[in-house]
Amino acid sequence: MQKGHFSFSDKIKVTTKNDELEGIFIPSQTQDKITLKLDSGYNLSIKKSDIKSIKLIEKRKKEKKVKTKIKYNKSLPTITILHTGGTISSKVSYDTGAVAAQFSPLEILEKFPELKNIVNIRSELISNILSENIRFHNYNIISKAIEKELKHNIKGIIVAHGTDTLHYTSAALAFILENINIPVILVGAQRSSDRPSTDATQNLIHAARFIKETDFKGVAICSHASPNDTSSIILPACKTRKLHTSRRDAFQPINASPIATIDEKITFLTKQHEPEKEFKLKPIKEHLKIGILKTHPNLYAKEIENYKNFGALIIEGTGLGHAPIEKIDQKSSENTKILDAIKKLAKKIPVIMTSQCLFGTVNMNVYSTGRKLLEVGVLNNNSDISTETAFIKAAWLLSNHKNEFYSLWNKNLRGELNERILLNHYLDVMGGN
């Protein structure tokens, strides 16, 4: 191995026992490995024991920063971009070795120059976390930042967000921002902006166009319509889910149609409702405990009992909304204990049934297991709300309408429930490329 000190941003060639790799040197957190940032944008850790040699290819020069003023275009509307973290608002800093948030208006326009012909930009970094680390208090921080921006003369707001829990956040904002009278569009990126195949550019530009060119009011998601850079879709805040780990069209509507499509023009696919009352901010209590339990073969009553100190429990059941609660033979006696545990829990807290099936409606009237669950107090019969949105709705109701929880649960408050599901609500997404 070539000896010497390599600095972050140096381009090096690493020869291992089986391969030759070129990339940007990144200091590793562990002593026994080095990390390369490959041309694909991915980071690769290599054990030092596997390395035969390292060769310096190029020392990276520090970029000189030139201060530039942004010209305000009076003919264009102004939008605010709020950054919460995620790949869409970050890039590698070759001076520090860190992934740095790029959130000032100038940095955004340098990164996405097409925006300057669409909108004027206000921008603020309100957090910089991976979306899997989000907690209820983060929803409140985002919501309060949105409320603050309403005091300015803006056409709408884009929330840049990590993709992993973006659909939880969209549902949370839809509930918290009651009667919001401007568009709040959540945008993420499956692939980082320093990769040629990034989806960040199109998602952000199409979100800005949607805000500029329409009178939409409310919370929604903007995402790729297909793996190709041909069009985007605007998705309902409470009826969307991330369905793929890496595809650029990972977000798709569940039991719903997209709100609109965006290509050369914007086409609305569903009718939008105007806010009927004055805007109110209704946060979620930060210390609430809401559980999600996925039923499975060989379930134990103890798994239900673990939620006795929670505020509510979402049970993601099988099929039409079932759980293993019937004794079939001597070896399935645990199932009767499960029913008893659910009955005891439902007397203390709301217990809500959803389905592992992404599409369709919970119907606990069809089979004996479902009817028994209804008899012991399980909620959510004849509902198509998703597990994730049910989780958010339960937290929001307990925070703002605790005494009305049971009367409000089956009411459609934010487009989270359908009166009827259309055939193409399933075929549209499953027929995609």
- Which positions are annotated as active-site residues? 87, 163-164, 242
Torsion of the alpha carbons at 216, 220, 223 and 225, rounded to the nearest 10: -70
For residue 65, count other CB atoms closer than 10 A to its CB.
7
CA–CA distance, 335 with 373 (Å, rounded to integer): 12
Which amino acid is present at 103? Answer: F
Amino acid letter, 54: I
102 φ/ψ angles, rounded to the nearest 5 degrees: -110, 95
Instruction: For residue 13, give every residue at least 6 positions away whose Cβ sits within 8 Å of its Cβ, in sequence order, or none.
Output: 20, 21, 22, 54, 55, 57
Give CA–CA dist 254/242, Å, rounded: 10
In the numeric block, the tokens 């109701």 are attached to: 397
CA atoms in the 13 A half-sphere facing the CB of 135: 6
Q: 163 to each of 58, 85, 160, 389, 429, how far by Cα in Å? A: 34, 10, 9, 16, 18
Burial class (CB in 10 A: 0-12, 13-18, 19+), 107: middle
CA distances from 174 to 86, 168, 171, 239, 368 (A): 20, 10, 5, 11, 36
Task: With residue 351 as reference, give the H or E element that holds it.
Answer: strand 351-355
Report in angstroms the alpha-carbon separations of 184 from 163, 177, 262, 317.
16, 10, 16, 32
Q: Rounded to an integer, what distance in angstroms lies between the CA atom of residue 159 and that of residue 89?
A: 10
Instruction: Please provide the size of the chain in residues.
Output: 433
Which helix (H) or strand (E) segment holds residue 90: the answer is strand 90-92
Q: How far apart are CA 89 and CA 86, in angstroms?
A: 6
For residue 229 the two structure tokens come to 């850079």
CA-CA distance, 191 to 57, in Å (whole number)? 27
Cα separation, 12 vs 59, in Å, equals 9
Q: Is 178 helix (H, G, I), strand (E, B) or coil?
A: strand
- State the angle between helix axes of 136-149 and 166-176 in degrees (0 to 180), rounded to the nearest 10: 60
